[in-house]
Amino acid sequence: MFNILYTPEDIDAAIKASHEKPVIFFKHSASCPFSATAQIEVAHAKHDLDIYGTVVQYTPEIKEAIAERLGVAHASPQAIVVYKGKAESHYYRSEIKEMTLKKAVKELIA
């Protein structure tokens, strides 16, 4: 499932959801070719994972709040695996792959 982050409260809800099962925070650009490639990978993964996303140009306050709350420096595109409120791993640019994200989540719940 893909959920769009609009507000800081949406970030809080996603972090709260991570206490039940791992979630992915996905930040990307509307104009970057690396982001376009990463977005395709995330789109394939959304059927099996809970993904919370934002476009960095449209929501600068959200990208900064994610970095602050999770303690992971901002990058774009970036996928952050969060479990029990903690950033467990994060991926940048070409590291963002459907199977990489699924494997990271599977290892957390195994």
Each residue of 32-80: pLDDT tens digit? 999 999 999 999 999 999 999 999 999 999 999 999 999 999 999 999 9
Predicted confidence at residue 83, as pLDDT, reads 98
b/e sequence 32-67, b meaning 16+ C-beta within 10 Å: beebebbbebbeebbeebbbbbbbbeebeebbebbb
Q: Tokens 């409260």 belong to which residue?
A: 9
Mean pLDDT of the chain: 97
Residue type, 71: G
Specify the 3-state DSSP secondary structure of 63: helix
Please report which confidence band the pLDDT of residue 110 belongs to, taking 50, 70 and 90 as the band edges: confident
Domains and CATH numbers, the chain: 2-109 (3.40.30.10)
